[in-house]
Amino acid sequence: MSFSLQTYLDELRPLVNVDCGTYTTEGIEIIAQQCEQKFLEMGGWSVKRVDCTKAGVGLEIRNKPDAEQIDVMLIGHMDTVFPVGTAAQRPMTVDAEKAYGPGVSDMKSGLLNVVYAMRDLEASVLDALSICICMNPDEETGSLYSQDWLQSVAKNAKHVLVAEAARADGSLVKARKGMARYKIDFHGIAAHAGNEPEKGRSAVTEMANWILAMNEMTNFESGTTLNAGVVSGGAGANIVPDFAQVIVDVRFWSNEEYDDVDTRLNGLTSTPFVEGVRVALEREAYKPSMVPSDKTERLMALVEEAADELSIQMGWQAVGGGSDANCTAILGVPTLDGLGPIGAGFHSDQEYLLLESIEPRIQLLQRVLSKLAK
- The CA distance from 188 to 202, in Å, is 5
Q: Given this model, what pLDDT does residue 1 score?
A: 67
> pLDDT grade, residue 183 (50/70/90)?
very high
Cα 325 to Cα 53, 154, 274: the distances in Å are: 22, 10, 41
- Say how many residues make up the chain: 374
- The CA distance from 362 to 366, in Å, is 6
Q: Given this model, what pLDDT does residue 37 score?
A: 98
Mean pLDDT of 129-139: 98
- The CA distance from 283 to 182, in Å, is 4
Choice among 24-33, 277-286, 317-326 with the minimum mean pLDDT = 317-326
Per residue in 165-178, pLDDT (tens digit) is 999 999 999 999 99
Q: DSSP 3-state assignment of 218?
A: coil
**79-82 long-range CB contacts below 8 Å, 24 or more apart?**
79/20, 79/21, 79/22, 79/24, 79/28, 79/55, 79/136, 79/137, 79/138, 79/139, 79/140, 79/141, 80/20, 80/21, 80/22, 80/106, 80/140, 81/21, 81/22, 81/140, 81/347, 82/19, 82/21
Cα 340 to Cα 78, 101, 173, 226, 362: the distances in Å are: 14, 16, 11, 30, 8
Cβ-contact 354, 5 below 8 angstroms: no
296: alpha, beta or left? (left if phi > 0; alpha if psi -120 to 50)? alpha
> pLDDT grade, residue 123 (50/70/90)?
very high
Cis peptide before 179 (omega within 30 of 0): no
| Predicted confidence (pLDDT) at residue 320 exceeds the cutoff of 90 | no
Burial (CB < 10 A; 0-12, 13-18, 19+), residue 311, is: exposed
Per residue in 365-374, pLDDT (tens digit) is 999 999 999 9
Cβ-contact 108, 15 below 8 angstroms: yes
Q: Given this model, what pLDDT does residue 2 score?
A: 86
Mean pLDDT of 126-134: 98
Distance between start and end Cα atoms, the chain:
20
Number of neighbours of residue 285 by Cβ within 10 angstroms: 17
* Average pLDDT taken over every residue of the chain: 97
Q: Where are the beta strands (DSSP E) in the chain?
A: 46-51, 57-62, 70-77, 93-94, 98-100, 131-136, 157-162, 172-176, 178-187, 191-192, 225-233, 239-240, 243-252, 278-287, 316-319, 335-336, 343-344, 352-354
Q: Given this model, what pLDDT does residue 138 score?
A: 97
Q: Given this model, what pLDDT does residue 142 score?
A: 87
Cα 80 to Cα 83, 250, 346: the distances in Å are: 9, 22, 10
Mean pLDDT of 208-226: 97
Cβ-contact 57, 32 below 8 angstroms: yes
How many percent of the chain have pLDDT more than 70? Answer: 100
| Predicted confidence (pLDDT) at residue 344 exceeds the cutoff of 70 | yes
Mean pLDDT of 67-93: 98
